[in-house]
C-alpha cells in the first residue's frame, strides 16, 4: 500500500530521473493499490550509494534531495535505475544485451554506428540490435574517433564517403584537438606498394579499432544468428587491404550483406559450433577489417 511518504519520494525520484535524462514512461509510475510499480519497487531496494539502505529508509531518515539525487545518479551510471525496469519486467526484456551478453537489453544499438552513415541515413535500412544502456552510450567516443580514421583513410571515393567526411568526421576532428595532435605526430609519407604513389599514413590506435570492429561483429552475429556471441568468446581484429574485393577468392564463398550501398559492405561465415566465425567489414569501399571469433580468434597476430 502506498503511503504519503512513498508517493512523495516517488514523485521526487521521478523528477530527478527525468532531469538526469532517464526515459521514464507513465508505466513506471503505475500504482494499482497492490503495487507501486517499478519506481516504487526500486526505492524499496537497498542502494550501494546509500550504504545498503533503501531510498525510502534514507528519505524517512531525513536525507536531503541532494543525497537522493546522487544515489539516483550512481544508479543511472551503473545501469540499475528504473529506466531499465519496464523492459526488464516484460517478456521481451529477458533478452540480454547482445554486445556484452551480461546486462538486460534496454535499448537498440545501430550496427555499424549510425555516424558512419552521416548524411545518407534517410531511407536506409539500418541494422539495430538489442543492447544495454551502458554498451549503447559507452561506445560513442570510440565510434566518433573511428569515424574520423575511416573518413581519413577512405577519402571521398563515393558520395556516401564524402558525406560522412564533410558532414560528420571533419566537424568531429575540428572539435578534438588531442586527436589532431595524435594524428599529426604519427603521420608519415609512405609509398603505396600497389600503385607506387606517395600517400599520407597515420597511426590508428589498435585498441579503438579492436573495440569498434569487434562490437560490430558481435552485433552482426546477433542480427544473423539470433543469439548473442557470449562475452567469453574472443574476437581478433586484423586490418585487411583497403578495398578488398569481398566477392573474390575464398570470400566469395561467404554470406554477404550491405547497408547503404557502398557505405558498409560485409561478408561473413560462422562454423558449426555457432561461435567461431569470420566477419569481413568494409567501409566506404576502402578500409577493411577481418574480425575472427571463437576458435578462429586463437593464434598469433591481430589487434587484440
Ligand atoms: Zn551491454
Give the Å distance between the CA of 64 and the centre of ligand 1.
33
Q: What is the pLDDT of residue 155?
A: 74
* Separation of CA 138 and ligand 1 centre (Å): 9
Residues near ion ligand 1 (CB < 5 Å) are 97, 99-100, 103, 132, 135
Check pLDDT > 60 for residue 210: yes
Q: Does residue 5 contact residue 15 with C-beta atoms inside 8 Å?
A: no
Q: What's the gap in Å between 230 CA and the centre of ligand 1?
A: 11
Where along the chain do its domains lie? 4-89, 206-297
Question: Confidence band (pLDDT; 50, 70, 90) for 120?
Answer: low
Taking the centre of ligand 1 as the mean of its atom positions, its distance from the CA of residue 207, in whole angstroms, is 18
CA 59 – CA 68 distance, rounded (Å): 8
**Prediction pTM value:** 0.64
SS3 132: coil
Looking at residue 167, what DSSP letter applies? Answer: I
Q: How far is the CA of 106 from the centre of ligand 1 (A)?
A: 9
- Please write the tens of the pLDDT for every residue from 214-271: 999 999 999 998 888 888 899 999 999 889 999 999 999 999 999 988 889 999 999 9
Rounded Cα distance, 251 and 79, in Å? 40
**Spacing, Cα 98 to ligand 1 middle (Å):** 7
State the Cα–Cα distance between residues 220 and 226, nearest whole angstrom.
9
Give the integer Cα–Cα distance in Å for 183 and 242: 19
Pairwise pLDDT comparison (14 vs 228), residue with the higher score: 228
Q: What tens digit of pLDDT does each residue of 34-44 get?
A: 456 667 777 88
Give strand pairing partners of 131: 107
Residues 172-191 pLDDT 10s: 777 777 777 777 777 777 77
Question: In this model, does residue 52 exceed pLDDT 50?
Answer: yes
CA of 255 to the centre of ligand 1 (A): 26
The verdict on whether omega for the bond into residue 200 sits within 30 degrees of 0, i.e. cis, is no
What spacing in Å lies between the alpha carbon of 132 and ligand 1's midpoint?
4
- Structure-block grid coordinates of residue 91: 517478456
- Separation of 85 CA from ligand 1 center, angstroms? 15
Amino acid at each position: 500500500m502506498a503511503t504519503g511518504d512513498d508517493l512523495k519520494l516517488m514523485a521526487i525520484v521521478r523528477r530527478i530521473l527525468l532531469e538526469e535524462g532517464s526515459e521514464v514512461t507513465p508505466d513506471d509510475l503505475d500504482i494499482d493499490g497492490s503495487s507501486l510499480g517499478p519506481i516504487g519497487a526500486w526505492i524499496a531496494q537497498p542502494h550501494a550509494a546509500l550504504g545498503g539502505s533503501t531510498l525510502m529508509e534514507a528519505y524517512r531518515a531525513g536525507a536531503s534531495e541532494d543525497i537522493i539525487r546522487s544515489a539516483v545518479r550512481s544508479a543511472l551510471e551503473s545501469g540499475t535505475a528504473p529506466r531499465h525496469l519496464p523492459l526488464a519486467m516484460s517478456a521481451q526484456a529477458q533478452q540480454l544485451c547482445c554486445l556484452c551478453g551480461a546486462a538486460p537489453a534496454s535499448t537498440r544499438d545501430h550496427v555499424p554506428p549510425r555516424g558512419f552513415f552521416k548524411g545518407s541515413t534517410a531511407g536506409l535500412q539500418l541494422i539495430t540490435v538489442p543492447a544495454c544502456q551502458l554498451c549503447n552510450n559507452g561506445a560513442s567516443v570510440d565510434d566518433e574517433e573511428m569515424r574520423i580514421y575511416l573518413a581519413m583513410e577512405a577519402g571521398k571515393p563515393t558520395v556516401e564517403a564524402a558525406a560522412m567526411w564533410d558532414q560528420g568526421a571533419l566537424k568531429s576532428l575540428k572539435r578534438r584537438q588531442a586527436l589532431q595532435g595524435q594524428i599529426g605526430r604519427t603521420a608519415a609519407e609512405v609509398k603505396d606498394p600497389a600503385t607506387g604513389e606517395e600517400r599520407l599514413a597515420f597511426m590508428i590506435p589498435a585498441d579503438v579499432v579492436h573495440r569498434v570492429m569487434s562490437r560490430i561483429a558481435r552485433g552482426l552475429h546477433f542480427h544473423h544468428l539470433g543469439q548473442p556471441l557470449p562475452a567469453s568468446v574472443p574476437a581478433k581484429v586484423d586490418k585487411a587491404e583497403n578495398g578488398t574485393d569481398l566477392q573474390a577468392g575464398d570470400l566469395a564463398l561467404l554470406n554477404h550483406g550491405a547497408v547503404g550501398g557502398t557505405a558498409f559492405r560485409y561478408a561473413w561465415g560462422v562454423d558449426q559450433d555457432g561461435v567461431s566465425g569470420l566477419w569481413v567489414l568494409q567501409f566506404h569501399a576502402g578500409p577493411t577489417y577481418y574480425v575472427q571469433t571463437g576458435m578462429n580468434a586463437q593464434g598469433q597476430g591481430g589487434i587484440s
